[in-house]
Amino acid sequence: MILLFSDTLTEETSLYAFLTESAAQLGAPLVRVADGRTPFEVYWHSRFLGNSRLAPCSKILKQQLARRWLEVNGDPRTATLYVGIDAGETRRIPGVRAGWAPWTVQFPLTDEPELTKEAMLAVARGLGLTPPAASQKGFAHANCGGLCVRGGQAHWRRRLVRHPDRFADYEHREQEFRAEFGDVAILKEQRDRVVRPLPLTELRRRPQPTCTIARAAPAKAGTRLHWCAGTGEPAVACTKVTAATSIPPRGTALTARSAGTPGPPRGEAAPRHAA
Ligand code: SF4
């Protein structure tokens, strides 16, 4: 078995450490392929800003690189690809399979519905591994340092609240890009049936949506946690939140800060990750 990792050069330090430690524990070689550019460098070179609908970063920095490596190192007649999507992402299977033809693709993590991301992280911890920081903090995804252009407004609000420095960095990069290429943005919004760019600077300026739904309750360790789509804060007892869910990091004592205030704006979608 060979572990193949497409490096976007923007991952958290803890993710690189997790990969190295996991590979050592599995006794499998970890092969790293890298284009040498970051996602934003790809946007500049392609003169196209990645967004929730089209992400050239994923195609160029991950899919094409991995495919090139496979064409040299993986005979489709004998090699099988194992893609690590979980039981909650099975809708992606046909597209992934078609995308990797002519290789045979298998999805072993989808075999057991109860094998959730949280359960897998618990297994990893039990084996003495330290999951990436984003996973420890309860985020559903840990790719690209949590700054995925495929995420929606809820994803970026969450970044603003939880990682203001990273948000500010991308906000600045987006402004530079807009200065060169005009009115484009990572985010979009629909108003009066017209889809418009929504720059991160504008998202920051907007007041946080007020929630009339969320009700707070103390969380027990291991309780399934909803992230409020409005503010990115934990909304433990809200039953109507539609944003991505996760569990609190081990040992985290949650206080329900979303009590009676924040909540999901209408039409907000959970982040989508294809890479
Ligand atoms: S995780 Fe998001 S930002 Fe990173 S390469 Fe994939 S689509 Fe692009």
For the chain, the structural domain boundaries read 3-143, 153-205, 212-258
Query: For position 51, what pLDDT does the model report?
Result: 94
At 174-231, the pLDDT tens digits run 999 999 999 999 999 998 899 999 999 999 998 766 554 444 433 443 444 455 555 5
Query: For position 235, what pLDDT does the model report?
Result: 52
User: What is the average pLDDT score of the chain?
Assistant: 80
Q: What is the CA radius of gyration of the chain?
A: 19
The atom of ligand 1 lying closest to the CA of 147 is 3
| Terminal-residue alpha carbon distance, the chain | 21
Distance 10 CA to ligand 1 centre (A): 10
What CATH fold (topology level) applies to the domain 3-143? Rossmann fold (3.40.50)
Query: For position 210, what pLDDT does the model report?
Result: 53
Please report, rounded to a whole number, the percentage of residues in the chain having pLDDT higher than 70: 75
Query: For position 234, what pLDDT does the model report?
Result: 54
Q: 108: buried, middle or exposed (CB in 10 Å: 19+, 13-18, 0-12)? A: exposed
Query: For position 217, what pLDDT does the model report?
Result: 39
The atom of ligand 1 lying closest to the CA of 50 is 8
* String of DSSP letters for 45-65: HHT----SS--HHIIIIIIHH
Mutate to test the pocket of ligand 1, among 8, 139, 173 (most ligand atoms within 8 A of CB): 8
Distance 255 CA to ligand 1 centre (A): 31
Query: For position 225, what pLDDT does the model report?
Result: 47
Residue with tokens 């890479």: 275
Query: For position 209, what pLDDT does the model report?
Result: 61
Please report, rounded to a whole number, the percentage of residues in the chain having pLDDT higher than 90: 57
Nearest to 233 by CA among 220, 246, 251: 246
Ligand 1 pocket, Cβ-based, cut-off 6 angstroms: 8, 39, 50, 55, 57-58, 61-62, 143-144, 148-150, 273, 275
63 vs 236, higher pLDDT? 63
When pLDDT is cut at 50, 70 and 90, the band that residue 141 belongs to is confident
Residue with tokens 């979608």: 269
DSSP letter, residue 210: B
Give me the phi and psi of 262, to 5 degrees please. -80, 165
Query: For position 55, what pLDDT does the model report?
Result: 94
Residue 25 pLDDT greater than 80, yes or no: yes
Query: For position 26, what pLDDT does the model report?
Result: 94
* Distance in angstroms (rounded) separating the CA atoms of residues 155 and 161: 10
When pLDDT is cut at 50, 70 and 90, the band that residue 264 belongs to is very low
Distance 214 CA to ligand 1 centre (A): 31
CA-CA-CA-CA torsion for 258, 191, 149, 140, nearest 10 degrees?
30
When pLDDT is cut at 50, 70 and 90, the band that residue 136 belongs to is confident
* Distance in angstroms (rounded) separating the CA atoms of residues 156 and 203: 8
The pTM assigned to this predicted structure is 0.77
**Tokens at residue 17, please?**
């450490």
Distance 152 CA to ligand 1 centre (A): 13
140 vs 47, higher pLDDT? 47
When pLDDT is cut at 50, 70 and 90, the band that residue 99 belongs to is very high
Amino acid in the structure at residue 45 = H
At 220-257, the pLDDT tens digits run 434 444 555 555 555 544 444 443 333 333 333 333 33
* Distance in angstroms (rounded) separating the CA atoms of residues 69 and 138: 33
At 156-169, the pLDDT tens digits run 988 888 889 999 99
Query: For position 240, what pLDDT does the model report?
Result: 45
Mutate to test the pocket of ligand 1, among 42, 62, 156, 186 (most ligand atoms within 8 A of CB): 62
